[in-house]
Amino acid sequence: MILRTFGWSFAITGLGLLAALLYGGPAGLALVAVLAVLEISLSFDNAVVNAKVLERMSTFWQKIFLTIGIAIAVFGMRLLFPLLIVGITAQMTPIEAFDLAFNDPKEYAHRMHEAYPTIAAFGGMFLMMLFLDFVFEERADKWLPWLERPLARIGKLDQLSVVVAAGALALVAGLFAEDTGQVMIAGVLGMVTYILVNGLGELFSQGGEDDGDGEEEVKVPAVKGTTGPNGLVLATGKAGFFLFLYLEVLDASFSFDGVIGAFAISTDPVVIMLGLGIGAMYIRSLTVFLVRKGTLHEYVYLEHGAHWAIGALAVCMLISIAVHVPEAITGGLGAGLIIAAFLSSVLRNRRERNGASPGAAGPDGAEELHPTSVSGSGALTGE
């Protein structure tokens, strides 16, 4: 199971470390290893959210995500995206940005850091919308009932997530941004991107029609509390495409912080691509592992922990517009929240095995509701 799921990641790790050794010697090898660990630590919550969406996609679109999606993640977001950002912000052509990256990496890193407020505003608002849509939604299982219940109650106010996110953006841009207009535009584009991609995914997922791509829709039970585009069928055709697009934009938003943080470790674009690319492979493999094992249905609070980690990352990205937030803090917050959610899930399962029935009082005295566990789609298991 482990070898079948992580086999490609192990192979890419070996090739990537060998390439790093040949390219930069022992120092290059060490830097690539550190960057790979950094990427994994910053993106574990990404794997949890990805798995929740991936289990609803048809076999075809799962394979697209695990093949073309990896190429986009490794080469697109970890190599071409920084070049594009530097080119846009410095008003340079892609060729000039490429030349700068390989001939003057320190200046290239400086240009990337100058562009960070714009990047953080876009990625931070996309992730903020994802987090707010989760916590403002009523759901059966509640990890932090003392907090999640009132949030779900006020979340009944229509478009509250947009109001809160826009207010946070205006506050940060008005008080801390050197270029208020640029940060506001980037933040609004992040919100619009989330609303558009998420909305299109929901529209086509709930349409319940065969889009004529040769795949039959497979009926599955609804998973209450599923994040992202939602519906009652395995997504094919247009629905599968928009779920794939949703995952790619989500991955991009998570990668912003890692790409910028990588420049604090190395300014060499090849070293950064190798290190972050290895980390991205493990995140993809971890996503598949979570789907195959049905981990999110067994440990029901993991999704909650991942979304609170996303909220923490979004806040850190917005704060970093004014002052740098060390990667150790953002990674530590995310890892800490997910570990806490996992341990809470283990305790919940132990209480149930010891005879506590669904609906029994939890440790806070509040009634807990536990829906029937729903297995994954089986598309990744060959079933």
Which residue blocks in the chain are alpha helix, DSSP H?
Answer: 2-54, 59-71, 81-89, 94-103, 105-114, 116-135, 145-154, 160-175, 180-205, 237-262, 269-293, 295-298, 302-319, 327-353
End-to-end CA distance of the chain: 14
Owning domain of residue 14 = 2-353
Q: How far apart are CA 18 and CA 227, in angstroms?
A: 38
Q: How far is CA 305 from CA 13, 37, 173, 264, 348, in A?
A: 28, 20, 28, 28, 14
Candidate ranges 28-37, 92-101, 325-334; pick with highest mean pLDDT: 28-37
- Rounded Cα gap, residues 143 and 314, in angstroms: 20
Q: According to the model, what pLDDT value does residue 204 have?
A: 60
Of the ranges 284-293, 335-344, 374-383, which one carries the lowest mean pLDDT score?
374-383
> Which band of pLDDT confidence, cut at 50, 70 and 90, is reported for residue 206?
low
Is 169 within the bounds of a domain?
yes
The span from the CA of 289 to the CA of 49, in Å, is 13
Residue 185 lies in a domain: yes
The answer to whether the beta carbons of residues 367 and 140 sit under 8 Å apart is: no
Residue 379 inside a domain? The answer is no
- What is the pLDDT, as a whole number, of residue 219? 39
Q: How many structural domains compose the chain?
A: 1
d(CA 131, CA 124): 10
- Domain membership of residue 146 (yes or no) is yes
- Residue pLDDT, tens place only, 16-64: 899 989 988 888 888 888 888 877 777 777 788 788 778 777 788 878 8
- Collapsed DSSP state (helix, strand, coil) of residue 361: strand
Would 374 be classed as within a structural domain? no
Q: Is residue 364 part of a domain?
A: no
The Cα diameter of the chain in Å comes to 67
Do the domain assignments include residue 366? no
- pLDDT of res. 75: 73
DSSP 338: H
Q: Is it the case that residue 145 has pLDDT exceeding 80? A: yes
d(CA 200, CA 193) in angstroms, rounded, equals 11
Amino acid (1-letter code) at residue 74: V
CB atoms within 10 A of CB 167: 10
What is the Cα–Cα distance from 115 to 89, expressed in whole angstroms? 6
Is position 40 within any domain? yes
